[in-house]
Amino acid sequence: MSLWADKYRPQSLDKLTYHNDLSAHLKKMAHSGDFPHMLFYGPPGAGKKTRIAAVLREIYGPGVERVRISTQIDQRQFVTPSNRKLDLNIVSSNYHMELNPSDVGMYDRAVVQDLIKEVAQTQQIDANAKHRFKIIVINEADELSREAQAGLRRTMEKYMTNLRIILCCNSTSKIISPIRSRCLLVRVARPSEGEIDDAMQAVAKKENFSLPHELSVKIADESDRNLRKALLTLEATKVQEPNLAQVQKIVKTDWEIEISNIADLIIAEQNPNR
């Protein structure tokens, strides 16, 4: 059973409900003969990964959705200079690969140098594919070490014919300038509270329940314009109180409650007994 945030994630650029100008531009690029390396950046919950997935579908068609999740140890082991073996989970199809090299910490350079180079040296196996290159999506790119980024830069230069890199991060401040200069920067801004409200109402309609406008507005207001957080909050609230008309306050996450408790202790009046 999928969470609503995943269950109702738009699969194509045409179905995205905000930043329509950006979607139109990405669609045009996907069908062009000169698709560049790209760097998607923006705050959490803005829809970066959703747009990347939609771009992949626009380029390769629905076949890109037939992914397989594999554990790197089943196919290959990365060995560091100190003979330490590294395992990394990847999501891949015949057309692309999605990974997070920062999961292996300080050894992320080995992933960049070995795995990406290996993929870059292979050609597209589907003779009917619209494009001859494969795409590697690197999540949390701003967490990559400078050494890994330097290795990535060299890979981007050497294997442009068979490979495109799509980077995804919250901020470009920790991405080295040589990589930024080789990518088309795509900023995905937060949706407005009204757009979040519309998205929640659409989910409520598909789930066959009525979402009071006042509650929807309140969730949107407290979500910090994070669409995923808003949908998760709506689902948690619905599970806790099926009759949303009776909801007095929305459900908060455990970490939000804990932070609030710590803040209350900090600002509480101090006395000799405390």
Q: pLDDT for 51-107, tens place per residue?
A: 999 999 999 888 777 665 544 333 455 666 666 777 777 887 888 888 888 877 887
Residues 172 and 41 in one domain: yes
211 part of a folded domain: yes
Report helix, strand or coil for 73. helix
Give how far Cα 62 sits from Cα of 12, 46, 65, 67, 226, Å.
10, 23, 6, 10, 27
Q: Provide the CATH number for the domain around residue 173.
A: 3.40.50.300
- Give, for 167, the enclosing helix (H) or strand (E): strand 163-169
Percent of the chain with pLDDT over 70: 88
What is the Cα–Cα distance from 62 to 59, expressed in whole angstroms?
Answer: 9
Six-digit token string for 218: 């309140």
Strands 184-187 and 163-169: unpaired
pLDDT (tens digit per residue) in 239-248: 888 888 888 7
Give 230's contacts (C-beta < 8 A, 6+ positions apart): 45, 196, 199, 200, 219, 220, 223
CA distances from residue 255 to 15, 43, 183, 260, 262 in whole angstroms, order as listed: 33, 19, 36, 8, 10
Domain co-membership, 59 together with 157: yes
Q: Among 187, 210, 236, which residue terminates a domain?
A: 187
Q: Is 180 in the same domain as 204?
A: no
Contact 88, 118 (CB under 8 A): no
Q: Which residues of the chain have pLDDT under 50?
A: 70-75
Give a yes or no: residue 272 inside a domain: no
Residues 260, 171, single domain; the answer is no
Question: Amino acid identity, residue 252?
Answer: K
Chain center to CA of 273: 48
Q: CA-to-CA distance for 59 and 8, rounded, in angstroms?
A: 21
Q: In the chain, how many domains are there?
A: 2
> Given 138, 164, 187, which residue is the final one in a domain?
187
Euclidean distance between CA atoms 61 and 213, whole angstroms? 37
Predicted model pTM = 0.84
Residues 165 and 210 in one domain: no
CA angle 120, 98, 112 (to 5 degrees): 50
Domain limits for position 57: 4-187
- Cβ–Cβ under 8 Å, residues 123 and 132: yes
The Cβ of residue 18 has, within 10 Å, a number of other Cβ atoms equal to 19
What pLDDT is recorded for position 93? 81
Residue 89's pLDDT is: 77
Report the interhelical angle of 213-222 vs 193-206 (nearest 10°): 130
Residue 14 CA to residue 31 CA, distance in Å, equals: 14
Same domain, 211 and 87: no
